[in-house]
Amino acid sequence: MSALEHVRGRYAAVVAIALLGLCPNAVLSTAFLPLERIIGSDLGTGPTGVQVAQGMGNAAYAVGAVIAAQVAQRFGQRPFFLGYQLLFVGASLVVASAGGLPWFLVGRVGQGLAAGAMLISALPPLVTRFGVARLPLTVVIVNVGLFGATTLGPLVGGAVAVSGSWRMLMVAFAVCGVVGLAVAVPGYPVLDPIDPDLRVDRAALTLSTVATVLIFFATSYLSGASLTSPWVVLPFFAGVVALGALVVVERRKVKPLIPIGVLTTQLPVSGMVVAMVGGAVFVTVLELVQTYAVEVAGRSPDSIGWNLWPMPLGMLVAAGSFGLLFRTRFVPVLATVGIAALFAASIVPLTLSPTNVTGVVILSAALLGFGAGATVSPGLFMCGLGLPSKALGRAFALVQLLRSVATYAVAPVVVFAVGEAATLSHGVRAGLVAMAVLSGAGFVFVLVVPALSGARLRKPDLDSWLQGGQALPSPATGLHVRPGVHDDQAAPLVPQRLRRHR
Protein backbone atom coordinates (compact mmCIF):
# COMPACT_ATOMS: atom_id res chain seq x y z
CA MET A 1 0.00 0.00 0.00
CA SER A 2 1.41 3.39 -1.02
CA ALA A 3 1.56 6.29 1.41
CA LEU A 4 -1.22 8.00 -0.57
CA GLU A 5 -3.50 4.96 -0.33
CA HIS A 6 -2.76 4.68 3.38
CA VAL A 7 -4.06 8.22 4.03
CA ARG A 8 -6.94 8.49 1.56
CA GLY A 9 -10.35 8.11 3.11
CA ARG A 10 -9.01 7.42 6.62
CA TYR A 11 -11.09 8.72 9.51
CA ALA A 12 -8.45 11.09 10.87
CA ALA A 13 -7.91 12.62 7.43
CA VAL A 14 -11.63 13.13 6.80
CA VAL A 15 -12.02 14.72 10.25
CA ALA A 16 -9.13 17.11 9.59
CA ILE A 17 -10.56 17.98 6.17
CA ALA A 18 -13.95 18.83 7.68
CA LEU A 19 -12.59 20.94 10.54
CA LEU A 20 -10.07 22.83 8.42
CA GLY A 21 -12.72 23.46 5.79
CA LEU A 22 -15.55 24.61 8.06
CA CYS A 23 -14.09 26.23 11.18
CA PRO A 24 -12.44 29.33 9.64
CA ASN A 25 -15.66 30.67 8.12
CA ALA A 26 -17.62 29.78 11.26
CA VAL A 27 -15.21 31.85 13.35
CA LEU A 28 -15.40 34.72 10.87
CA SER A 29 -19.19 34.80 11.01
CA THR A 30 -19.15 36.08 14.62
CA ALA A 31 -15.76 37.83 14.68
CA PHE A 32 -16.80 40.83 12.58
CA LEU A 33 -18.85 42.88 15.05
CA PRO A 34 -15.87 44.37 16.94
CA LEU A 35 -14.00 44.77 13.63
CA GLU A 36 -16.62 46.63 11.59
CA ARG A 37 -15.42 50.15 12.32
CA ILE A 38 -11.75 49.28 11.90
CA ILE A 39 -12.36 47.53 8.57
CA GLY A 40 -14.70 50.28 7.37
CA SER A 41 -12.14 52.97 8.17
CA ASP A 42 -9.35 51.00 6.50
CA LEU A 43 -11.43 50.46 3.35
CA GLY A 44 -12.69 54.03 3.22
CA THR A 45 -16.31 53.07 3.80
CA GLY A 46 -18.73 53.05 6.74
CA PRO A 47 -19.97 50.18 8.90
CA THR A 48 -22.96 49.70 6.58
CA GLY A 49 -20.71 48.76 3.68
CA VAL A 50 -18.89 46.21 5.80
CA GLN A 51 -22.21 44.81 7.07
CA VAL A 52 -23.52 44.43 3.51
CA ALA A 53 -20.34 42.58 2.52
CA GLN A 54 -20.72 40.36 5.56
CA GLY A 55 -24.38 39.76 4.72
CA MET A 56 -23.50 38.78 1.16
CA GLY A 57 -20.86 36.41 2.49
CA ASN A 58 -23.47 34.74 4.69
CA ALA A 59 -25.88 34.55 1.74
CA ALA A 60 -23.15 32.95 -0.37
CA TYR A 61 -22.67 30.33 2.35
CA ALA A 62 -26.30 29.22 2.00
CA VAL A 63 -26.15 29.32 -1.80
CA GLY A 64 -22.90 27.34 -1.83
CA ALA A 65 -24.55 24.55 0.15
CA VAL A 66 -27.39 24.25 -2.38
CA ILE A 67 -25.05 24.31 -5.38
CA ALA A 68 -22.79 21.67 -3.83
CA ALA A 69 -25.81 19.47 -3.07
CA GLN A 70 -26.66 19.51 -6.78
CA VAL A 71 -23.07 18.82 -7.81
CA ALA A 72 -22.79 15.88 -5.40
CA GLN A 73 -25.74 14.14 -7.05
CA ARG A 74 -24.14 14.05 -10.49
CA PHE A 75 -20.36 14.02 -9.99
CA GLY A 76 -17.65 12.53 -7.82
CA GLN A 77 -16.78 14.97 -5.05
CA ARG A 78 -13.01 14.82 -4.75
CA PRO A 79 -12.00 17.34 -7.49
CA PHE A 80 -14.84 19.66 -6.52
CA PHE A 81 -13.89 19.70 -2.85
CA LEU A 82 -10.31 20.57 -3.77
CA GLY A 83 -11.71 23.39 -5.90
CA TYR A 84 -13.87 24.66 -3.04
CA GLN A 85 -10.90 24.68 -0.68
CA LEU A 86 -8.74 26.46 -3.24
CA LEU A 87 -11.49 29.05 -3.71
CA PHE A 88 -11.53 29.70 0.03
CA VAL A 89 -7.76 30.26 0.06
CA GLY A 90 -7.92 32.65 -2.89
CA ALA A 91 -10.93 34.53 -1.50
CA SER A 92 -9.22 34.95 1.89
CA LEU A 93 -6.19 36.48 0.19
CA VAL A 94 -8.48 38.81 -1.79
CA VAL A 95 -10.06 40.00 1.49
CA ALA A 96 -6.64 40.42 3.08
CA SER A 97 -5.37 42.57 0.21
CA ALA A 98 -8.59 44.49 -0.50
CA GLY A 99 -7.99 48.21 -1.01
CA GLY A 100 -11.66 49.09 -1.05
CA LEU A 101 -15.14 47.76 -0.44
CA PRO A 102 -15.70 46.10 -3.86
CA TRP A 103 -12.78 43.69 -3.50
CA PHE A 104 -13.62 43.08 0.15
CA LEU A 105 -17.16 42.17 -0.95
CA VAL A 106 -15.86 39.83 -3.65
CA GLY A 107 -13.57 38.10 -1.18
CA ARG A 108 -16.27 37.64 1.47
CA VAL A 109 -18.66 36.20 -1.11
CA GLY A 110 -15.96 33.78 -2.25
CA GLN A 111 -15.25 32.70 1.33
CA GLY A 112 -18.93 32.09 2.05
CA LEU A 113 -19.56 30.26 -1.22
CA ALA A 114 -16.59 27.95 -0.65
CA ALA A 115 -17.46 27.26 3.00
CA GLY A 116 -21.07 26.40 2.19
CA ALA A 117 -19.98 24.05 -0.58
CA MET A 118 -17.39 22.37 1.66
CA LEU A 119 -20.11 21.75 4.24
CA ILE A 120 -21.99 19.51 1.82
CA SER A 121 -18.87 17.81 0.50
CA ALA A 122 -17.26 17.21 3.90
CA LEU A 123 -20.00 16.30 6.38
CA PRO A 124 -22.09 13.53 4.74
CA PRO A 125 -19.00 11.36 4.00
CA LEU A 126 -17.74 11.89 7.54
CA VAL A 127 -21.10 10.90 9.02
CA THR A 128 -21.98 7.91 6.82
CA ARG A 129 -18.69 6.15 5.94
CA PHE A 130 -17.25 4.99 9.25
CA GLY A 131 -19.89 2.86 10.94
CA VAL A 132 -22.04 3.23 14.02
CA ALA A 133 -19.16 2.90 16.50
CA ARG A 134 -17.59 6.15 15.30
CA LEU A 135 -20.82 8.17 15.17
CA PRO A 136 -20.74 9.53 18.77
CA LEU A 137 -17.29 11.02 18.20
CA THR A 138 -18.25 12.15 14.72
CA VAL A 139 -21.26 14.14 15.87
CA VAL A 140 -19.09 15.95 18.43
CA ILE A 141 -16.68 16.92 15.64
CA VAL A 142 -19.53 17.99 13.37
CA ASN A 143 -20.96 20.06 16.21
CA VAL A 144 -17.68 21.97 16.53
CA GLY A 145 -17.14 22.47 12.80
CA LEU A 146 -20.70 23.24 11.77
CA PHE A 147 -21.63 25.93 14.31
CA GLY A 148 -19.66 25.45 17.52
CA ALA A 149 -16.63 27.32 16.20
CA THR A 150 -18.75 30.48 16.08
CA THR A 151 -18.30 30.66 19.88
CA LEU A 152 -14.62 31.50 19.27
CA GLY A 153 -15.41 34.40 16.94
CA PRO A 154 -15.92 37.13 19.58
CA LEU A 155 -12.67 36.20 21.34
CA VAL A 156 -10.77 36.35 18.06
CA GLY A 157 -12.53 39.52 16.90
CA GLY A 158 -11.92 41.29 20.21
CA ALA A 159 -8.21 40.48 20.19
CA VAL A 160 -7.79 41.55 16.57
CA ALA A 161 -9.77 44.77 17.16
CA VAL A 162 -7.12 45.95 19.62
CA SER A 163 -4.18 45.11 17.37
CA GLY A 164 -5.94 46.30 14.20
CA SER A 165 -4.42 43.37 12.28
CA TRP A 166 -7.60 42.15 10.57
CA ARG A 167 -5.71 41.59 7.32
CA MET A 168 -3.33 39.20 9.07
CA LEU A 169 -6.37 37.35 10.40
CA MET A 170 -7.46 36.76 6.81
CA VAL A 171 -3.97 35.60 5.92
CA ALA A 172 -4.11 33.19 8.85
CA PHE A 173 -7.38 31.75 7.52
CA ALA A 174 -5.83 31.44 4.08
CA VAL A 175 -3.02 29.44 5.69
CA CYS A 176 -5.63 27.21 7.35
CA GLY A 177 -7.11 26.69 3.90
CA VAL A 178 -3.71 25.75 2.47
CA VAL A 179 -3.21 23.22 5.27
CA GLY A 180 -6.70 21.87 4.59
CA LEU A 181 -5.87 21.57 0.90
CA ALA A 182 -2.62 19.78 1.74
CA VAL A 183 -4.59 17.24 3.80
CA ALA A 184 -7.39 16.90 1.25
CA VAL A 185 -5.13 16.16 -1.74
CA PRO A 186 -4.01 12.80 -0.33
CA GLY A 187 -6.83 12.29 2.17
CA TYR A 188 -10.18 13.09 0.54
CA PRO A 189 -11.96 9.82 -0.31
CA VAL A 190 -13.06 8.85 -3.79
CA LEU A 191 -16.86 9.11 -3.76
CA ASP A 192 -19.25 8.04 -6.49
CA PRO A 193 -22.05 10.35 -7.56
CA ILE A 194 -25.11 9.92 -5.33
CA ASP A 195 -27.76 10.08 -8.07
CA PRO A 196 -26.24 10.78 -11.50
CA ASP A 197 -29.66 10.57 -13.15
CA LEU A 198 -31.05 13.48 -11.11
CA ARG A 199 -31.57 16.42 -13.43
CA VAL A 200 -30.10 19.83 -12.73
CA ASP A 201 -32.81 21.58 -10.72
CA ARG A 202 -32.56 25.06 -12.20
CA ALA A 203 -35.61 26.27 -10.30
CA ALA A 204 -34.14 25.28 -6.92
CA LEU A 205 -30.77 26.82 -7.73
CA THR A 206 -32.29 30.06 -9.01
CA LEU A 207 -34.91 30.54 -6.31
CA SER A 208 -32.57 29.71 -3.43
CA THR A 209 -30.02 32.18 -4.76
CA VAL A 210 -32.56 34.95 -5.30
CA ALA A 211 -34.17 34.40 -1.89
CA THR A 212 -30.98 34.43 0.17
CA VAL A 213 -29.25 37.26 -1.67
CA LEU A 214 -32.28 39.56 -1.46
CA ILE A 215 -33.11 38.80 2.18
CA PHE A 216 -29.52 39.16 3.34
CA PHE A 217 -29.01 42.35 1.36
CA ALA A 218 -32.13 43.92 2.85
CA THR A 219 -31.30 43.05 6.45
CA SER A 220 -27.61 43.98 6.23
CA TYR A 221 -28.37 47.29 4.46
CA LEU A 222 -30.83 48.19 7.20
CA SER A 223 -28.22 49.86 9.41
CA GLY A 224 -27.72 52.57 6.78
CA ALA A 225 -31.40 53.06 5.92
CA SER A 226 -34.78 52.61 7.60
CA LEU A 227 -37.48 49.96 7.77
CA THR A 228 -39.52 51.87 5.19
CA SER A 229 -36.68 52.35 2.71
CA PRO A 230 -37.44 50.75 -0.69
CA TRP A 231 -33.88 49.35 -0.61
CA VAL A 232 -34.96 47.34 2.41
CA VAL A 233 -38.65 46.63 1.90
CA LEU A 234 -38.62 45.57 -1.75
CA PRO A 235 -35.67 43.14 -1.62
CA PHE A 236 -36.86 41.65 1.66
CA PHE A 237 -40.38 40.84 0.50
CA ALA A 238 -39.15 39.69 -2.92
CA GLY A 239 -36.74 37.34 -1.14
CA VAL A 240 -39.51 35.96 1.08
CA VAL A 241 -41.68 35.36 -1.99
CA ALA A 242 -38.80 33.55 -3.71
CA LEU A 243 -38.28 31.39 -0.62
CA GLY A 244 -41.97 30.49 -0.56
CA ALA A 245 -41.87 29.72 -4.27
CA LEU A 246 -38.88 27.43 -3.70
CA VAL A 247 -40.87 25.37 -1.21
CA VAL A 248 -43.95 25.18 -3.47
CA VAL A 249 -42.00 24.30 -6.64
CA GLU A 250 -39.87 21.63 -4.97
CA ARG A 251 -42.90 20.11 -3.22
CA ARG A 252 -44.60 19.52 -6.57
CA LYS A 253 -41.66 17.83 -8.30
CA VAL A 254 -41.33 14.06 -8.54
CA LYS A 255 -37.52 14.11 -8.04
CA PRO A 256 -36.61 17.51 -6.61
CA LEU A 257 -33.15 18.58 -5.56
CA ILE A 258 -34.56 19.59 -2.17
CA PRO A 259 -36.86 16.82 -0.83
CA ILE A 260 -39.54 19.07 0.63
CA GLY A 261 -42.05 16.21 1.00
CA VAL A 262 -40.02 14.23 3.52
CA LEU A 263 -38.71 17.39 5.17
CA THR A 264 -42.23 18.41 6.21
CA THR A 265 -42.77 15.41 8.50
CA GLN A 266 -42.47 15.85 12.27
CA LEU A 267 -38.82 15.07 12.96
CA PRO A 268 -37.29 17.24 10.20
CA VAL A 269 -39.70 20.08 11.05
CA SER A 270 -38.80 19.91 14.74
CA GLY A 271 -35.10 19.74 13.89
CA MET A 272 -35.29 22.73 11.55
CA VAL A 273 -37.11 24.82 14.15
CA VAL A 274 -34.51 23.91 16.79
CA ALA A 275 -31.63 24.85 14.46
CA MET A 276 -33.26 28.10 13.29
CA VAL A 277 -34.29 29.30 16.75
CA GLY A 278 -30.96 28.26 18.24
CA GLY A 279 -28.90 30.07 15.62
CA ALA A 280 -31.02 33.22 15.64
CA VAL A 281 -31.14 33.60 19.43
CA PHE A 282 -27.45 32.82 19.90
CA VAL A 283 -26.16 35.35 17.37
CA THR A 284 -28.64 38.08 18.31
CA VAL A 285 -28.15 37.88 22.08
CA LEU A 286 -24.39 37.76 21.56
CA GLU A 287 -24.49 40.97 19.51
CA LEU A 288 -26.79 42.68 22.01
CA VAL A 289 -24.53 41.83 24.95
CA GLN A 290 -21.44 43.03 23.07
CA THR A 291 -23.21 46.23 22.01
CA TYR A 292 -24.23 47.06 25.58
CA ALA A 293 -20.81 46.29 27.01
CA VAL A 294 -18.95 48.46 24.46
CA GLU A 295 -21.40 51.26 23.69
CA VAL A 296 -23.12 51.70 27.07
CA ALA A 297 -20.65 50.39 29.68
CA GLY A 298 -17.58 51.64 27.79
CA ARG A 299 -15.65 48.37 27.86
CA SER A 300 -13.01 47.64 25.23
CA PRO A 301 -13.72 44.96 22.58
CA ASP A 302 -10.83 42.79 23.76
CA SER A 303 -11.92 42.84 27.41
CA ILE A 304 -15.43 41.80 26.44
CA GLY A 305 -14.01 39.15 24.13
CA TRP A 306 -12.07 37.65 27.04
CA ASN A 307 -15.16 37.84 29.29
CA LEU A 308 -16.84 35.53 26.77
CA TRP A 309 -14.34 32.73 27.49
CA PRO A 310 -17.03 30.39 28.96
CA MET A 311 -18.82 30.32 25.61
CA PRO A 312 -16.58 27.76 23.84
CA LEU A 313 -16.43 25.73 27.06
CA GLY A 314 -20.22 25.63 27.24
CA MET A 315 -20.32 24.61 23.61
CA LEU A 316 -17.88 21.74 24.25
CA VAL A 317 -20.00 20.52 27.19
CA ALA A 318 -23.07 20.48 24.93
CA ALA A 319 -21.16 18.82 22.07
CA GLY A 320 -19.85 16.14 24.43
CA SER A 321 -23.35 15.56 25.78
CA PHE A 322 -24.60 15.23 22.21
CA GLY A 323 -22.00 12.55 21.52
CA LEU A 324 -22.93 10.63 24.66
CA LEU A 325 -26.65 10.79 23.92
CA PHE A 326 -26.57 10.26 20.16
CA ARG A 327 -27.22 6.52 20.29
CA THR A 328 -30.01 6.96 22.83
CA ARG A 329 -33.53 8.35 22.56
CA PHE A 330 -32.66 11.59 24.33
CA VAL A 331 -31.30 13.83 21.55
CA PRO A 332 -34.63 15.74 21.33
CA VAL A 333 -34.43 16.23 25.11
CA LEU A 334 -30.94 17.75 24.74
CA ALA A 335 -32.25 20.10 22.05
CA THR A 336 -35.12 21.17 24.32
CA VAL A 337 -32.69 21.84 27.17
CA GLY A 338 -30.54 23.82 24.74
CA ILE A 339 -33.44 26.10 23.84
CA ALA A 340 -34.16 26.54 27.55
CA ALA A 341 -30.51 27.58 28.04
CA LEU A 342 -30.89 30.18 25.29
CA PHE A 343 -34.05 31.45 26.97
CA ALA A 344 -32.06 31.89 30.18
CA ALA A 345 -29.25 33.53 28.19
CA SER A 346 -31.80 36.09 26.94
CA ILE A 347 -33.11 36.80 30.46
CA VAL A 348 -29.81 37.07 32.39
CA PRO A 349 -28.49 40.12 30.46
CA LEU A 350 -31.64 42.06 31.38
CA THR A 351 -29.83 42.70 34.67
CA LEU A 352 -26.90 44.41 32.90
CA SER A 353 -25.67 47.68 34.32
CA PRO A 354 -22.34 49.50 33.88
CA THR A 355 -21.20 48.14 37.26
CA ASN A 356 -21.91 44.40 36.77
CA VAL A 357 -20.92 43.80 33.14
CA THR A 358 -18.20 41.22 33.78
CA GLY A 359 -20.24 38.82 35.90
CA VAL A 360 -23.36 39.03 33.74
CA VAL A 361 -21.40 38.57 30.52
CA ILE A 362 -19.57 35.51 31.88
CA LEU A 363 -22.82 33.83 32.97
CA SER A 364 -24.56 34.73 29.71
CA ALA A 365 -21.59 33.38 27.73
CA ALA A 366 -21.79 29.99 29.46
CA LEU A 367 -25.51 29.72 28.70
CA LEU A 368 -25.06 30.90 25.12
CA GLY A 369 -22.26 28.41 24.46
CA PHE A 370 -24.24 25.48 25.83
CA GLY A 371 -27.35 26.61 23.94
CA ALA A 372 -25.44 26.90 20.66
CA GLY A 373 -23.94 23.41 21.01
CA ALA A 374 -27.22 21.83 22.10
CA THR A 375 -29.45 23.25 19.36
CA VAL A 376 -27.98 23.85 15.90
CA SER A 377 -26.13 20.57 15.28
CA PRO A 378 -28.58 18.38 17.26
CA GLY A 379 -31.40 20.04 15.30
CA LEU A 380 -29.64 19.24 12.03
CA PHE A 381 -29.22 15.61 13.05
CA MET A 382 -32.81 15.35 14.27
CA CYS A 383 -33.74 16.31 10.74
CA GLY A 384 -31.29 13.82 9.24
CA LEU A 385 -32.32 10.87 11.43
CA GLY A 386 -35.85 11.13 10.07
CA LEU A 387 -34.60 10.84 6.47
CA PRO A 388 -32.79 8.18 4.43
CA SER A 389 -29.07 8.80 4.90
CA LYS A 390 -28.56 9.17 1.13
CA ALA A 391 -30.70 12.31 1.26
CA LEU A 392 -28.48 13.97 3.88
CA GLY A 393 -26.64 16.34 1.54
CA ARG A 394 -29.83 17.60 -0.11
CA ALA A 395 -31.61 17.94 3.24
CA PHE A 396 -28.63 19.68 4.85
CA ALA A 397 -28.71 22.22 2.02
CA LEU A 398 -32.25 23.37 2.82
CA VAL A 399 -31.75 23.25 6.58
CA GLN A 400 -28.57 25.32 6.28
CA LEU A 401 -30.32 27.79 4.00
CA LEU A 402 -33.19 28.30 6.45
CA ARG A 403 -30.89 28.26 9.47
CA SER A 404 -28.61 30.87 7.87
CA VAL A 405 -31.56 33.12 7.08
CA ALA A 406 -32.79 32.87 10.68
CA THR A 407 -29.33 33.19 12.21
CA TYR A 408 -27.88 36.07 10.23
CA ALA A 409 -30.98 37.98 9.12
CA VAL A 410 -32.76 38.27 12.48
CA ALA A 411 -29.82 39.88 14.30
CA PRO A 412 -29.47 42.94 12.01
CA VAL A 413 -33.19 43.70 12.31
CA VAL A 414 -33.09 43.48 16.12
CA VAL A 415 -29.90 45.54 16.32
CA PHE A 416 -31.47 48.18 14.06
CA ALA A 417 -34.50 48.35 16.36
CA VAL A 418 -32.13 48.75 19.31
CA GLY A 419 -30.57 51.79 17.64
CA GLU A 420 -34.00 53.34 17.07
CA ALA A 421 -34.97 53.14 20.76
CA ALA A 422 -35.01 56.22 22.99
CA THR A 423 -31.79 55.05 24.67
CA LEU A 424 -29.39 52.31 23.70
CA SER A 425 -29.77 50.51 27.02
CA HIS A 426 -33.58 50.40 26.65
CA GLY A 427 -33.20 49.16 23.09
CA VAL A 428 -30.86 46.35 24.16
CA ARG A 429 -33.34 45.24 26.80
CA ALA A 430 -36.20 45.28 24.30
CA GLY A 431 -34.12 43.15 21.94
CA LEU A 432 -33.34 40.68 24.73
CA VAL A 433 -37.04 40.40 25.58
CA ALA A 434 -37.77 39.69 21.91
CA MET A 435 -35.18 36.87 21.95
CA ALA A 436 -36.67 35.50 25.16
CA VAL A 437 -40.08 35.40 23.47
CA LEU A 438 -38.59 33.69 20.39
CA SER A 439 -36.76 31.05 22.42
CA GLY A 440 -39.84 30.55 24.62
CA ALA A 441 -41.96 29.99 21.51
CA GLY A 442 -39.37 27.53 20.21
CA PHE A 443 -39.42 25.67 23.53
CA VAL A 444 -43.21 25.32 23.39
CA PHE A 445 -43.06 24.24 19.74
CA VAL A 446 -40.60 21.38 20.32
CA LEU A 447 -42.75 20.07 23.16
CA VAL A 448 -46.21 20.45 21.66
CA VAL A 449 -45.72 19.61 17.97
CA PRO A 450 -44.13 16.16 18.51
CA ALA A 451 -46.97 15.28 20.92
CA LEU A 452 -49.60 16.37 18.40
CA SER A 453 -47.79 14.38 15.70
CA GLY A 454 -47.79 11.10 17.62
CA ALA A 455 -44.01 11.13 18.10
CA ARG A 456 -42.38 9.31 20.98
CA LEU A 457 -38.80 9.22 22.25
CA ARG A 458 -37.20 6.25 20.52
CA LYS A 459 -33.70 4.86 20.24
CA PRO A 460 -32.46 5.41 16.66
CA ASP A 461 -31.70 2.44 14.39
CA LEU A 462 -28.31 3.74 13.26
CA ASP A 463 -27.32 0.54 11.44
CA SER A 464 -30.37 0.83 9.20
CA TRP A 465 -29.68 4.55 8.74
CA LEU A 466 -26.12 4.05 7.53
CA GLN A 467 -27.38 1.40 5.11
CA GLY A 468 -29.68 3.95 3.48
CA GLY A 469 -32.86 3.72 5.57
CA GLN A 470 -34.33 5.91 8.30
CA ALA A 471 -33.04 5.88 11.85
CA LEU A 472 -36.31 7.06 13.39
CA PRO A 473 -39.95 7.13 12.31
CA SER A 474 -41.20 10.60 11.43
CA PRO A 475 -45.01 10.83 11.35
CA ALA A 476 -46.95 13.55 9.58
CA THR A 477 -46.62 16.86 11.40
CA GLY A 478 -49.54 17.63 13.72
CA LEU A 479 -51.65 14.77 12.38
CA HIS A 480 -53.75 14.55 15.57
CA VAL A 481 -55.18 17.99 14.87
CA ARG A 482 -55.55 17.45 11.10
CA PRO A 483 -58.84 15.66 10.33
CA GLY A 484 -58.52 12.84 7.83
CA VAL A 485 -54.73 12.52 8.16
CA HIS A 486 -53.44 9.10 9.19
CA ASP A 487 -49.90 7.79 9.59
CA ASP A 488 -48.99 4.28 10.74
CA GLN A 489 -45.77 5.64 12.29
CA ALA A 490 -47.72 7.85 14.71
CA ALA A 491 -48.48 6.85 18.28
CA PRO A 492 -51.87 7.72 19.81
CA LEU A 493 -52.22 11.20 21.25
CA VAL A 494 -53.11 9.59 24.61
CA PRO A 495 -51.04 6.44 25.33
CA GLN A 496 -53.05 3.23 25.67
CA ARG A 497 -51.97 2.67 29.29
CA LEU A 498 -53.41 6.05 30.27
CA ARG A 499 -56.64 5.28 28.45
CA ARG A 500 -57.07 2.07 30.46
CA HIS A 501 -56.64 3.99 33.72
CA ARG A 502 -59.33 6.50 32.89
| Dihedral-angle region of residue 276 (phi above 0 means left; psi in -120 to 50 means alpha; beta otherwise) | alpha
Do 260-495 and 1-196 fall under one CATH topology? Answer: yes
Give the integer Cα–Cα distance in Å for 355 and 122. 46
Report the pLDDT value the prediction gives residue 264, as an integer from 0 to 100.
83
Report the pLDDT value the prediction gives residue 167, as an integer from 0 to 100.
92
Report the pLDDT value the prediction gives residue 174, as an integer from 0 to 100.
95
Q: Is the pLDDT of residue 418 over 80?
A: no
CA R_g for the chain: 22
Q: Do 47 and 223 form a contact (C-beta atoms < 8 A)? A: yes
**3-state SS, one letter per residue, for 71-123:** HHHHCCCHHHHHHHHHHHHHHHHHHHHCCCHHHHHHHHHHHHHHHHHHHHHHH
Report the pLDDT value the prediction gives residue 1, as an integer from 0 to 100.
45
Three-class SS state of 320: helix
- The DSSP element (H or E) to which 464 belongs, if any, is helix 462-466
Q: Which residues contact 495 (CB under 8 A, 6 or more apart)?
A: none
Report the pLDDT value the prediction gives residue 348, as an integer from 0 to 100.
94
Tens of pLDDT along 230-256?
Answer: 888 899 899 999 989 998 888 888 788
Average pLDDT over residues 332-359: 93
Bigger pLDDT: 354 vs 348: 348
Q: Is the pLDDT of residue 498 over 60?
A: no
Could you tell me the CATH superfamily of domain 260-495? MFS general substrate transporter like domains (1.20.1250.20)
Tens of pLDDT along 149-202?
Answer: 889 989 898 888 888 789 999 999 999 999 999 999 888 888 788 888 888 889
Closest CA to 382 of 336, 332, 316: 332
Average pLDDT over residues 199-220: 90
Tens of pLDDT along 455-479?
Answer: 888 899 998 888 888 888 888 888 7
Report the pLDDT value the prediction gives residue 305, as an integer from 0 to 100.
84
Tens of pLDDT along 392-414?
Answer: 777 778 888 888 888 777 877 78
HSE value, Cβ hemisphere, 13 Å, CA-based, for 27? 18
- Percentage of the residues of the chain whose pLDDT score is greater than 90: 39
Which phi and psi (to 5°) does residue 485 adopt? -95, 130
Give the integer Cα–Cα distance in Å for 265 and 477. 5
Three-class SS state of 129: coil
| Dihedral-angle region of residue 200 (phi above 0 means left; psi in -120 to 50 means alpha; beta otherwise) | beta
Give the integer Cα–Cα distance in Å for 478 and 448. 9
End-to-end CA distance of the chain: 68
Give the integer Cα–Cα distance in Å for 248 and 263. 13
- Percentage of the residues of the chain whose pLDDT score is greater than 70: 94
C-alpha 99: how far from its chain's center? 30
Tens of pLDDT along 109-144?
Answer: 999 999 999 988 888 788 888 888 999 999 999 898
Q: Is the pLDDT of residue 79 over 60?
A: yes
| DSSP codes, 370-425 | HHHHHHHHHHHHHHHHTS-GGGHHHHHHHHHHHHHHHHHHHHHHHHHHHHHSSSHH
Out of 299-313, 317-331, 399-413, 454-468, least confident range: 399-413
CA distances from 205 to 149, 177, 196, 209, 246 (A): 28, 26, 17, 6, 9
Mean pLDDT score of the chain: 87
Give the integer Cα–Cα distance in Å for 308 and 428. 18
Closest CA to 331 of 176, 414, 455, 248: 455
Bigger pLDDT: 157 vs 341: 341
Q: Which residues contact 79 (CB under 8 A, 6 or more apart)?
A: none
Give the integer Cα–Cα distance in Å for 335 and 333. 5
Widest CA span in the chain? 74
1-196 CATH fold: Growth Hormone; Chain: A; (1.20.1250)
Instruction: Indicate the pTM of the whole model.
Output: 0.90
| Annotated domain spans of the chain | 1-196, 199-256, 260-495
CA distances from 219 to 199, 209, 259, 295 (A): 33, 16, 28, 22
